[in-house]
Homo-oligomer: A and B are copies of this chain.
Amino acid sequence: MTEPPYTIQQAAAQTGLSVHTLRYYEDAGILPGIRRNGSGHRCYDEQDLGWIRWLKMLRNSGMSIEMIREFVQLSQQGNDSIEARCQILDAHRQKIRATISELEGYLHLLDQKLLFYRGLEDG
């Protein structure tokens, strides 16, 4: 039942990242625009949490901090950079697709190995 603005602890709890990681992301330049309260403490609103979740998705899907930084820098350049941003996302999508195919291939190999082992057990 908490509501914005959130402390860094609360933001961490709501996004599943650690407090350390939130600060690290800010330092790394992929989490810009976090405001501070009168005491200099970070405070996060819903939009920030949304961006953090988006970051989390990009990281989990294998995009490097470096590439995300590029994407963020483009985002800060306004609407002229939308095409460039789409290219990054498109490339990433292709990379994910390739990873999925690769993994599916490995699944087949594993199945074969398992069949082989289970054959050994029975005979």
Q: Which residues of A contact B (CB under 8 A)?
A: 54, 57, 60-61, 79, 82-83, 85-86, 89-90, 92-93, 96-97, 99-100, 102-104, 106-107, 109-111, 113-114, 117-118, 120-121
**Nearest CB on B from A35, distance (A):** 24
Q: Assess A114 versus B90: contact at CB under 8 Å? Given A60-B106, A83-B121.
A: yes
Residues of chain B with a CB closer than 8 A to A83's CB: 121
Q: A61-B103, A83-B121, A93-B114 are in contact. List 20 more A-B contacts (CB 8 A).
A: A54-B113, A57-B109, A61-B110, A79-B120, A82-B120, A82-B121, A86-B114, A86-B117, A86-B118, A92-B110, A93-B107, A93-B111, A96-B106, A96-B107, A97-B107, A100-B100, A100-B103, A100-B104, A100-B107, A103-B103
Q: How far, in whole Å, are A107 and B89 apart by their CA atoms in the complex?
A: 10
Task: Tell me whether chain A's interface is mostly helix, strand or loop, or mixed.
Answer: helix
Would you call B117 and A82 a contact (CB within 8 A)?
yes
In chain B, what residue has the closest Cβ to A110? B93
Residues of chain B with a CB closer than 8 A to A57's CB: 106, 109
Q: How far, in whole Å, are A77 and B84 apart by their CA atoms in the complex?
A: 55
Q: How far, in whole Å, are A60 and B109 apart by their CA atoms in the complex?
A: 12
